[in-house]
């Protein structure tokens, strides 16, 4: 999936007569790389600089507004080393994808309420995926502790089947969400 942006301010609101940079594409590979690079999170300054480097108009006040509206996750505070250095807000690495989805929704003339509802559905799917990954990890820990070879084989077989079932379910739900989004555009 690629996120295409158009020159002329496709996503930006309140345009002035200023010359605009073209909003470049983020490929799926770039998004995955960014999430790996910022696996511990990304500061608002780094986030805004990253978006600016791709030609997006996105400010600190827009970030705060979207967080307040519940469209984006809140930052977590991380203390800085040293005396009286305070703390810094770190946003989860998937915030970049959330921002791109918001911008796409605005481009498609969706309201912030519509965008928020879709974001909450996608967030629930992400929560479900994380919960299943944690469950599978716990099951693998149990398998490692099991001494009976027959029990190990049975648990491993059932876990593999459950992982395959969940992968199919995830694909079906993701496909349904994307079809619903496309249906709204027609």
User: Which of 32, 53, 169 lies closest to 97 in space, CA to CA?
Assistant: 32
Rounded to whole angstroms, the Cα distance separating 125 from 143 reads: 27
Count Cβ atoms within 10 A of the Cβ of residue 107 and give its class: 0-12 exposed, 13-18 middle, 19 or more buried. Answer: middle
User: Which of 96, 87, 88 lies closest to 34 in space, CA to CA?
Assistant: 96
pLDDT value, residue 184: 55
Task: Over range 128-146, report the average pLDDT.
Answer: 90
Q: Which helix (H) or strand (E) holds 185?
A: helix 149-185
Task: Over range 112-124, report the average pLDDT.
Answer: 84
Q: How confident is the model at residue 31 (pLDDT cuts 50, 70, 90)?
A: confident
Task: Over range 46-55, report the average pLDDT.
Answer: 91
Lowest mean pLDDT among 12-16, 18-22, 70-74, 90-94: 12-16
What residues are paired with 90 via a beta bridge? 43, 76
pLDDT value, residue 15: 35
Rounded to whole angstroms, the Cα distance separating 83 from 135 reads: 40
pLDDT tens-digit readout, 59-112: 999 999 999 988 888 888 887 776 666 778 889 888 888 898 898 888 889 899
pLDDT value, residue 83: 61
Phi and psi, residue 26, nearest 5°: -110, 115
Rounded to whole angstroms, the Cα distance separating 95 from 75 reads: 10
pLDDT winner (highest mean) among 34-48, 71-85, 95-109, 154-168: 154-168
């Amino acid at each position: 999936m690629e996120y295409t942006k158009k020159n002329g301010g496709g996503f930006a609101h309140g345009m002035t007569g200023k010359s605009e940079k073209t909003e470049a594409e983020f490929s799926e590979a770039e998004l995955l790389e960014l999430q790996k690079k910022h696996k511990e999170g990304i500061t608002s300054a780094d986030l805004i600089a990253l978006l600016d480097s791709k030609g997006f108009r996105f400010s600190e006040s827009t970030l705060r507004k979207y967080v307040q509206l519940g469209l984006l996750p809140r930052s977590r505070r991380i203390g800085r080393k040293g005396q009286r250095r305070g703390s810094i807000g770190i946003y989860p690495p998937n915030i970049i994808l959330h921002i791109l989805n918001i911008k796409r929704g605005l481009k498609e003339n969706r309201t912030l309420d519509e965008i928020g509802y879709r974001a909450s559905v996608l967030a629930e799917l992400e929560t479900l995926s994380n919960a299943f990954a944690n469950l599978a990890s716990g099951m693998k820990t149990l398998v490692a502790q099991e001494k009976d070879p027959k029990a190990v084989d049975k648990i491993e077989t059932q876990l593999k089947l459950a992982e395959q079932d969940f992968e199919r379910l995830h694909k079906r739900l993701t496909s349904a969400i994307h079809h619903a989004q496309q249906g709204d555009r027609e």
